[in-house]
Chain A
Amino acid sequence: MSRDGQGRGHWFDDEAGPVVRPYAMTRGRTTSAGQHRLDLIAVVVAESRADDSEADQALSPEHVDIVGLCRDAPQSVAELAAELDLPVGVIRVLIGDLVDEELVHVSRPVPPAELVDESILRDVISGLRAL
Chain B
Amino acid sequence: MIFGRSERGKPPVEPVTLKILVAGGFGVGKTTLVGAVSEIRPLRTEELLTEAGRPVDDTSGVEGKHTTTVAMDFGRITLRDDLVLYLFGTPGQERFWFMWDELSEGSLGAVVLADTRRLEDCFAALDYFERRSIPFVVGVNCFEGAARYPVETVRQALDLDQDVPLMLCDARDRSSVKEVLIEVVQHAMAYGAKRRQSVTS
Q: Which chain A residues have a beta carbon within 8 Å of chain B's beta carbons?
A: 15, 17-19, 22, 30-31, 37, 39-43, 45-46, 48-49, 51-52, 73-74, 76, 78-79, 81-83, 87-89, 107, 109-113, 115, 118, 120-125, 127-129, 131
Residues B108 and A112 in contact, CB atoms below 8 Å apart: yes
Chain A binding surface SS class: helix
Residue from the list A19, A46, A110 in contact with B12, Cβ < 8 A: A46
A18 CA to B62 CA, complexed, in Å: 14
Contact with A along B161-181 (1 / 0, CB 8 A): 000000000000010001001
User: Would you mind naming 10 contact pairs between A and B with Cβ atoms under 8 Å apart?
Assistant: A19-B48, A49-B4, A74-B13, A76-B17, A87-B48, A88-B46, A89-B48, A109-B106, A120-B18, A124-B108
Q: Which residue of B lies closest to A108 (CB)?
A: B106
Residues A127 and B79 in contact, CB atoms below 8 Å apart: yes
Contact with A along B41-58 (1 / 0, CB 8 A): 001111110111100000
In the complex with contacts A109-B17, A127-B80, A78-B74 CB distance below 8 A:
yes
Residue from the list A18, A31, A123 in contact with B80, Cβ < 8 A: A123
Chain B binding surface SS class: mixed
Residues A48 and B5 in contact, CB atoms below 8 Å apart: yes
Check B154 for interface membership: any CB of A closer than 8 A. no
Chain A residues, Cβ within 8 Å of B30? none
Contact with A along B1-31 (1 / 0, CB 8 A): 0011111100111111111000000000000
A124 CA to B69 CA, complexed, in Å: 32
